[in-house]
């Protein structure tokens, strides 16, 4: 019996040994399979995971390119700065550390503690500060565990608010947010480089383990066509007008008609791009290129130019103006002033421009017809995007010609029923000043690489001939007459001839039903010297208070800019005479229909 028991015991031991061997074999096979999977099939994943723990990639910030004016004066530049953060996991003695940091940064320690307590692991304490201030936190003997520093760059606009809507600004991420900074962000920003460093067990960078993977590619520098001196003159003249007439907003544009280059473009109100958050986003808008308005009588230049180009005689009588004329679908009024209280009488093209006769302009439009009028509006660039380099440029709008009823066509002749931008109107007058040739407007002069070599140059570009040189000369004579003895007397400059036109148009209601009572846009657009034009200047003022006439509100701004800019460019006088004395109160004959 003992023998049987011994055999049974040995059998059980043998079976258990076999099962144990089998289980161990399975476990071993599983371990081998797992090792094969990890080492062969999924090696890349685990290697990447290990490197993410052991290594850290650090960006080498590329320096943003500088923006200059046409003479190489700095408008926007990036300077070195430092951003400071706290790592809550490494923070020791929080009260003492926060008190020391707050004292150096000039912050409220209570507010700083609140931000840290309510933040995540990494909390930014201050961004883009003077590196010298950060050095005070890193000086020997001042131990601040948990406080970290990151090299950064800060965008600075040395001229403050000058040309703010042209330049725009950048965000905390150094990307362009408005203006040229946004439009040319890809060129200005460059490409960041990359450094790889090894970390210790506490995820701190081990000294002397950093190596460069990719060098940063510095941003390109941009030269604009504007002249900071002329820009300053323009902004000063606009601000002076605003103090007197308190408009909702206004703009002024100075162009060289020979090349299409924009020498100045000012908006009121303005802001400081160094502190964009201190102004409403509405103020960031470049209204000179982004906002549409009905131009009123300044558009009569297009109507008359089209008539001349189609062969109409400039001195033939177009109509007999009595102040009002009934036409199919409505009535066309004229705004009358002394000595024309009873109407302008027999009107030709010269009188249409000189005394701003709506009825005469309406008759020219009726003779041209809707399709012809619209074709000239397109040829003058009023229905297309100008593409001057600003970005956010609006497209002029007018209904299709097939929808123009006779009274709408008549109104179109004197600048109502069409919406355009101030820049488009400046281009219209530049075409006349340039003998009928449309030059591409542009704000960009050239782009240079970080080493100073030329990357791209923007040369003057002729787009098309819009009207004949003969028609352009004739309309210029009319515009000179308008300034010498018409509605534009306030634009006369000493020693120079001026060609220009006043405008005063009502503002349409937002719902499209008629016009707002008492709401006007006053404007003056012209060029000088009249027969050898160097400057085209457009001044557009929205909702001025106290007066809404282009002659009293906008023409003096034109005169101030023209006088100073022509002297600055040393343009010789072409008419050494003294201008007529400025009247106490002057009104131009503009449409308020």
According to CATH, the superfamily of the domain at 55-89+153-224 is Penicillin-binding protein 2a (Domain 2) (3.90.1310.10)
**Residue 3: which pLDDT band, with cuts at 50, 70 and 90?**
low
User: Would the pLDDT of 230 be above 60?
Assistant: yes
User: Would the pLDDT of 589 be above 70?
Assistant: no
Please give the Cα distance from 102 to 587 (Å, whole number): 61
User: Would the pLDDT of 145 be above 70?
Assistant: yes
Q: Which among 438, 460, 435, 437 has a CA at the least distance from the CA of 386?
A: 438
Q: Say whether 228-568 and 55-89+153-224 share the same fold.
A: no
**Which is higher by pLDDT, 282 or 20?**
282
pLDDT of residue 202: 64
pLDDT of residue 586: 43
Cα-atom radius of gyration of the chain, to the nearest Å?
Answer: 36
User: Would the pLDDT of 338 be above 90?
Assistant: no
Residue spans of the domains in the chain: they are 55-89+153-224, 228-568
Which DSSP string do the residues of 143-201 spell out, in sequence order?
--TTEEEEEEEEEE-TTTTTTHHHH--B-TTS-B-SHHHHHTHHHHH-B-EEEEEEB-T
Q: Which residues contact 354 (CB under 8 A, 6 or more apart)?
A: 478, 481, 482, 485, 486, 487
The fold of the 228-568 domain, in CATH, is Beta-lactamase (3.40.710)
Percent of the chain with pLDDT over 70: 94
- H-run or E-run covering 235: helix 228-245
User: Would the pLDDT of 582 be above 60?
Assistant: no
The whole-number average pLDDT for the span 193-203 is 73
User: Would the pLDDT of 592 be above 80?
Assistant: no
Paired sense of beta strands 221-224 and 67-68, if any: parallel
**Which is higher by pLDDT, 123 or 581?**
123
pLDDT of residue 498: 95
Percent of the chain with pLDDT over 90: 55
Structure confidence by residue, pLDDT tens digits, 388-436: 999 889 999 998 888 888 899 999 999 888 999 999 999 999 999 999 9
The whole-number average pLDDT for the span 557-576 is 90
User: Would the pLDDT of 317 be above 60?
Assistant: yes
Structure confidence by residue, pLDDT tens digits, 510-558: 887 788 988 999 999 999 999 999 999 999 999 999 999 999 999 999 9
Structure confidence by residue, pLDDT tens digits, 158-179: 999 999 999 999 988 889 999 9
User: Would the pLDDT of 270 be above 70?
Assistant: yes
pLDDT of residue 590: 40
pLDDT of residue 209: 72
Highest mean pLDDT of the ranges 68-82, 323-337, 342-356, 460-474: 460-474
Please give the Cα distance from 58 to 120 (Å, whole number): 21
pLDDT of residue 269: 97
Count of residues in the chain = 593
Q: Which among 83, 85, 82, 172 has a CA at the least distance from the CA of 121?
A: 85
Q: Which residues contact 418 (CB under 8 A, 6 or more apart)?
A: 294, 295, 299, 377, 382, 396, 397, 398, 412
Paired sense of beta strands 454-457 and 345-347, if any: unpaired
Q: In this structure, which long-range contacts are made by residues 133-138, counting pairs with CB atoms below 8 Å and at least 24 apart in sequence? A: 133/82, 133/104, 133/105, 134/82, 134/84, 136/104, 137/84, 137/100, 137/101, 137/104
pTM above 0.75, yes or no: yes
pLDDT of residue 583: 46
Q: Can you read off the two tokens belonging to residue 293?
A: 């308005």
**Residue 376: which pLDDT band, with cuts at 50, 70 and 90?**
very high
């Amino acid at each position: 019996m003992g023998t049987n028991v011994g055999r049974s015991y040995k059998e059980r031991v043998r079976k258990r040994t076999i099962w144990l061997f089998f289980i161990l074999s399975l476990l071993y096979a599983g371990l081998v399979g797992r090792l094969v999977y990890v080492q062969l099939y999924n090696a890349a994943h685990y290697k990447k995971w290990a490197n993410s723990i052991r290594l850290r990639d650090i960006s080498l910030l590329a320096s943003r390119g500088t923006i200059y004016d046409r003479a190489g004066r700095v408008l926007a530049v990036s300077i070195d700065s430092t951003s400071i953060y706290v790592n809550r996991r490494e923070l020791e003695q929080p009260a003492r550390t926060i008190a020391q940091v707050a004292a150096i940064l000039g912050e409220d320690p209570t507010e700083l503690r609140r931000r840290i307590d309510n933040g995540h692991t990494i909390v930014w304490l201050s961004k883009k500060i003077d590196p010298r201030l950060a050095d005070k936190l890193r000086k020997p003997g001042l131990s601040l565990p948990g406080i970290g520093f990151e090299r950064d760059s800060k965008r600075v606009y040395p001229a403050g608010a000058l040309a703010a809507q042209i330049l725009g600004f950048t965000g905390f991420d150094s990307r362009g947010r408005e203006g040229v900074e946004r439009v040319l962000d890809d060129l200005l920003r460059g490409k960041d480089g990359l450094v790889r460093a090894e970390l210790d067990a506490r995820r701190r960078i081990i000294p002397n383990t950093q190596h460069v993977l990719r060098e940063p590619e510095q941003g390109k520098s941009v030269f604009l066509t504007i002249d900071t001196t002329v820009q300053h003159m323009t902004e000063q003249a606009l601000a002076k007008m605003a103090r007197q007439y308190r408009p909702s907003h206004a703009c002024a544009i100075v162009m060289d008609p020979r090349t299409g280059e924009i020498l100045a473009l000012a908006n009121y109100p303005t802001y400081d791009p160094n502190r964009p958050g201190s102004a409403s986003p509405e103020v960031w808008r470049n209204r000179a290129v982004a906002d549409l308005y009905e131009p009123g009588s300044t558009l009569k230049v297009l109507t008359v130019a089209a008539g001349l180009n189609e062969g109409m005689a400039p001195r033939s009588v177009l109509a007999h103006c009595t102040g009002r004329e009934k036409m199919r679908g409505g009535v066309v009024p004229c705004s009358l002033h002394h000595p024309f209280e009873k109407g302008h009488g027999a009107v030709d093209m010269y009188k249409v421009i000189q005394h701003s006769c709506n009825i005469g302009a309406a008759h020219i439009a009726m003779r041209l017809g809707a399709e012809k009028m619209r074709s000239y509006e397109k040829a003058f660039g009023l229905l297309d995007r100008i593409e001057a380099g600003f970005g956010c440029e609006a497209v002029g709008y007018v209904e299709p010609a097939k929808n123009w009823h006779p009274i709408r066509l008549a109104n179109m002749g004197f600048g109502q029923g069409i919406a355009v931008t101030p820049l488009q109107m400046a281009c219209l007058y530049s075409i006349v000043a340039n003998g009928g040739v449309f030059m591409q407007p542009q704000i960009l002069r050239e782009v240079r690489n970080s080493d100073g070599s030329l990357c791209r140059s923007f040369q003057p570009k002729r787009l098309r001939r819009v009207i004949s040189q003969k028609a352009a000369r004739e309309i210029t004579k009319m515009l000179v007459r308008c300034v010498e003895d018409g509605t534009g007397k306030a634009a006369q400059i000493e020693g120079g001839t001026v060609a220009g036109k006043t405008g005063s148009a009502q503002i349409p209601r937002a719902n499209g039903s008629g016009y707002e009572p008492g709401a006007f846009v006053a404007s003056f657009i012209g060029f000088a010297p009249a027969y050898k034009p160097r400057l085209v200047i457009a001044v557009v003022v929205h909702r001025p208070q106290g007066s809404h006439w282009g002659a009293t509100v906008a023409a003096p701004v034109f005169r101030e800019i023209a006088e100073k800019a022509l002297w600055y460019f040393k343009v010789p006088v072409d008419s050494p005479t003294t201008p007529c004395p400025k009247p106490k109160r002057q009104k131009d004959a503009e449409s308020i229909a």
